[in-house]
Structure 1
């Protein structure tokens, strides 16, 4: 029986919630390193964070790591105790495994609190635990969003039980901890809590005969004051002189529509887009079916999140894909808003629940196969580290192309595993003061010191900072590096590697580990071979303009 006194169906029991939560972690069980695009890069930062200076003093010459109070510390803090108990790699894996589990549990808990019991359609939302932002490796963000869902369910539960004073007391420290995990999760919790409190206050006023929305709006704002303390932390964080990064690309509607189509993006475009189409069909069906409706509470929450999504730029304080991160959660909240009306038969409810659960299991099966294949790629490429000495200065080039292919290779930040396992230099670390605790300071590396210098392409790509493989091989500073790690790079002119000796090669021949041979002369390559013609002409024109602007020499 649930708290409404109705008998529970199989999908509404605690046993089902536990099973669904456990199913959600299945794709992450086999891979040693969860194959999320940015995660290996974060693991490199964790290694620097956890390694004492006396154990690897050379790390202090390459990187600057400094603890500071920023709204992006979720796994950075958790990894400290987890690494002591389980080691760094297993500790990170265990933390990451909690993210889809918390997301699934949070969605089902919210659905139960709002509807009184879990609707048969709620399981359609569960595959979004493996949404595109999670696949991208935004792990602090994803953890904060999973926690925000669970905390929103707790917020609703305490309101339902009338424990408003207790809610106010416990959410002051909880909101600060959530902000510390990632500021995005705290912001979303605020939006969800405000919308729910607004509905609750309106219903109270309406029952009393004075249900005015303006008054409800004001009272909802007052009710959310316990969540407001992190605003002071936000001001402190973003007002520092060390903070950099622009906020740009507002109202890019083409990109926003694309993000909505990519909410389940993983490996197979047809499968992922078809799965997203299931959501459109479900929403259309829910609107048309007379025995299905929507929760006012969650519909208002979804509308508020959609408004935030529309207003968010693509880049916030230098962090890209800010709006993309919110898209799956707009969809998820909309899906769990669907509810059966009293006229729905038990048979129809059972069929819907079976379809929703089958969809969830099918998506998890696809994610499991996808992650197994990515793990095989990781094992193949990481074999190069067996030939790499500890503390080596390594410049890594990872091949890609100018097309935004649906299946991301997940290799973009694999260079950081050299830092994780061999305490070697990795040129894929982000260098964004104020956004990360670590910045690269290896001046000898020049333009190859940090991300995105590890990304190489067959040629110059428009509107990208990536460099062609020929340029990178010819121009990386030999005095700064001892090894070159090539990961599935495009073909390049062998003359640019005339001073490099191969010490390892992958079975497919697409990857290799090369050692700089200082007994051979560095290849001398003219700019005309490496730069596009338009760039050379532009540079020449600007040089002529500078000469014309120079003042005449002083008279003797």
Structure 2
């Protein structure tokens, strides 16, 4: 009969931790993740364009096979039942729950029992990529962790044919959710197979060499390879855009590790990541704990991917940043107490891990409550708008990357969700999203990042100074201007517009005078630009 389970190793604890992970998302009506409102706008167009033809005058929505469709597909059956906003909220609530469950299940499969140190990895369910609103990515990663645990379980049981039958379609569905999750699953599965194949004893010959283990691991992972065909079809399609670049940006990579738990309070978040790094360091130096060879190799492979990946892949920014928290999470659950460590010592470690999880959970809950209040104040403006309004929105921010984002950048997309109106915050990159903007009258104010304005010119960014944005937007193309936390500006810039709602710095104005002012250029802000070359996009 096996040794009695400790409280953190029981199924009841796993269920409780999984349910606790959704607590920060219970209160907010709209999950306060930076990009989520923008995605919701796309979902509304996706669901409503057939019955509301004016949307097709502004947006082009076309279904295609891309590795970035997780939530886009899930809202189709859910939205008619519970409404779009609740459907998105329920799906997003599932992501941290899947992440926590996946981390604990992997730890259980590798170690036989959940080690006390694994509890320190649980706050990474609210890592910075999730806070940024990369929801298809985050959903695919939560699913990938659980699929990896299933991969390990079936290997432990020797059910390799069943594993192949399950993972052939599962890998394709995971790729469809987001290609990143499929890639990470492949790395985790391959590293685990390498250790298993190396440690497998051959009759009369002992363990296999690493070269043979490498080849056998590759053969064992063949059921995961079918999405490579889907990837080729996707990237060879018509009008697929998106560059790949910014390789080996070491300063950014170091910053991304430090920002793995970034949310609102810089000191709190940096202290938290310091705790995780100290635990990883103790895993190397402390003779009372050790790293699992299997998960240690998986973590090493993920960190190698993090180093090799550029910042931009196929036009999607922060590709390497997204991987950092998961590499940390796998490294943390790789640590286990060495045999002989006292029960009291492991129980103390588990209690500290649980306290760390609960403190981070409490901080995230408070942060989301505050973000929800700012969302509610701003969204009151939508009640004053008619259906089908053409709205240009300007959201203020600073050139400096403040630790706590306002998270208002894509809030204007709720105009599409609640009023079927036009919003200039949508991304427009063929092949990366199903939606592109085609509202030509809006000129350079049709899509992201035209909604972001600053107090001055920010070198290296496409954001406009607020003076330039308010002066240059085409008056004939828009009925309303929505200002959200704008920088200070000259009131003369809104002459000919009537305020119809205001709350502090936030303001909604109706455009009455269609007379177009003389346009400003960056030269008016003292910016000397090189001569424009053919094929280069103007920052205007």
Q: Secondary structure at the match of 1:121?
A: helix
Q: What are the superposed Cα offsets for residues 449-490 of structure 1, whole Å, 9 maximum, x if unpaired?
A: 000000000010010000010000000000000000000101
* Of 257, 268, 278, the match for 1:271: 268
How far apart are the structure 2 equivalents of 1:522 and 1:492?
A: 20
* Of 533, 538, 541, the match for 2:526: 533
* Most deviating of 524-533 and 285-294: 524-533
Q: CA 1:341–1:28 in structure 2 vs 1: closer, same or farther (change >3 Å)?
A: same
* Of 506, 511, 518, the match for 1:511: 506
1:443 aligns with 2:440: yes
Give the aligned partner of residue 524 of structure 1: 517
Instruction: Tell me, yes or no, if the aligned pair for 1:499 and 1:523 is still in contact at 8 Å.
Output: no
Offset of 1:523 from its aligned partner?
5.7
1:31 aligns with 2:31: no
1:196 aligns with 2:189: no
Instruction: Tell me, yes or no, if the aligned pair for 1:248 and 1:315 is still in contact at 8 Å.
Output: yes
1:68 aligns with 2:61: no
Runs of 5+ consecutive residues of structure 1 not aligned to the other structure: 543-556
Offset of 1:529 from its aligned partner?
9.1
How far apart are the structure 2 equivalents of 1:183 and 1:529?
A: 38
Give the aligned partner of residue 143 of structure 2: 147
Give the aligned partner of residue 100 of structure 2: 104
How far apart are the structure 1 equivalents of 2:218 and 2:517?
A: 66
Give the aligned partner of residue 82 of structure 2: 86
Offset of 1:530 from its aligned partner?
7.2
Runs of 5+ consecutive residues of structure 2 not aligned to the other structure: 534-540
Offset of 1:496 from its aligned partner?
1.6
Give the aligned partner of residue 226 of structure 2: 229
Instruction: Tell me, yes or no, if the aligned pair for 1:470 and 1:530 is still in contact at 8 Å.
Output: no
Q: Secondary structure at the match of 2:405?
A: coil
Work out which of the two has the higher radius of gyration on C-alpha atoms and give 1 or 2: 1
Offset of 1:499 from its aligned partner?
1.1
Offset of 1:178 from its aligned partner?
0.2
**Where in structure 2 are the equivalents of 1:110-259 lying within 5 Å?**
110-205=106-201, 208-259=205-256
When the two structures are superposed, what TM-score results if normalisation uses the length of structure 1? 0.94
Instruction: Tell me, yes or no, if the aligned pair for 1:83 and 1:91 is still in contact at 8 Å.
Output: yes
Offset of 1:221 from its aligned partner?
0.2
Q: Secondary structure at the match of 2:303?
A: helix
Offset of 1:71 from its aligned partner?
0.3
How far apart are the structure 2 equivalents of 1:80 and 1:262?
A: 34
Instruction: Tell me, yes or no, if the aligned pair for 1:123 and 1:357 is still in contact at 8 Å.
Output: yes
Instruction: Tell me, yes or no, if the aligned pair for 2:471 and 2:520 is still in contact at 8 Å.
Output: no
**Where in structure 2 are the equivalents of 1:36-55 lying within 5 Å?**
36-54=33-51
Give the aligned partner of residue 368 of structure 1: 365
Q: CA 1:84–1:529 in structure 2 vs 1: closer, same or farther (change >3 Å)?
A: closer
How far apart are the structure 1 equivalents of 2:281 and 2:61?
A: 51
Q: Secondary structure at the match of 2:174?
A: helix
Q: What are the superposed Cα offsets for residues 11-36 of structure 1, whole Å, 9 maximum, x if unpaired?
A: 00000000000110000000000000
Offset of 1:52 from its aligned partner?
4.4
How far apart are the structure 2 equivalents of 1:526 and 1:230?
A: 49
Instruction: Tell me, yes or no, if the aligned pair for 2:95 and 2:138 is still in contact at 8 Å.
Output: yes
* Most deviating of 275-284 and 525-534: 525-534
Offset of 1:492 from its aligned partner?
1.2
Q: What are the superposed Cα offsets for residues 384-411 of structure 1, whole Å, 9 maximum, x if unpaired?
A: 0010000000000000010000001110
Q: What are the superposed Cα offsets for residues 316-370 of structure 1, whole Å, 9 maximum, x if unpaired?
A: 1111000000000010000000011111000000000000000000000000000
Offset of 1:285 from its aligned partner?
2.1
How far apart are the structure 1 equivalents of 2:282 and 2:183?
A: 31
* Of 288, 293, 297, the match for 1:291: 288
Instruction: Tell me, yes or no, if the aligned pair for 1:74 and 1:180 is still in contact at 8 Å.
Output: yes
* Of 434, 449, 455, the match for 1:452: 449
1:495 aligns with 2:488: no
How far apart are the structure 2 equivalents of 1:164 and 1:473?
A: 63
Offset of 1:50 from its aligned partner?
0.6
Cα root mean square deviation, aligned = 1.5
Q: CA 1:154–1:525 in structure 2 vs 1: closer, same or farther (change >3 Å)?
A: same
How far apart are the structure 2 equivalents of 1:385 and 1:322?
A: 34
**Where in structure 2 are the equivalents of 1:413-428 lying within 5 Å?**
413-428=410-425
Q: Secondary structure at the match of 2:401?
A: coil
Offset of 1:526 from its aligned partner?
5.8
Q: Secondary structure at the match of 2:515?
A: coil
How far apart are the structure 1 equivalents of 2:198 and 2:189?
A: 14
Q: What are the superposed Cα offsets for residues 507-533 of structure 1, whole Å, 9 maximum, x if unpaired?
A: xx2100000003xx6263463797323
Q: Secondary structure at the match of 1:504?
A: strand
Offset of 1:85 from its aligned partner?
1.0
Give the aligned partner of residue 314 of structure 2: 317
**Where in structure 2 are the equivalents of 1:378-397 lying within 5 Å?**
378-397=375-394
Q: What are the superposed Cα offsets for residues 229-287 of structure 1, whole Å, 9 maximum, x if unpaired?
A: 00000000001131101111001011000000000000000000000000121122222
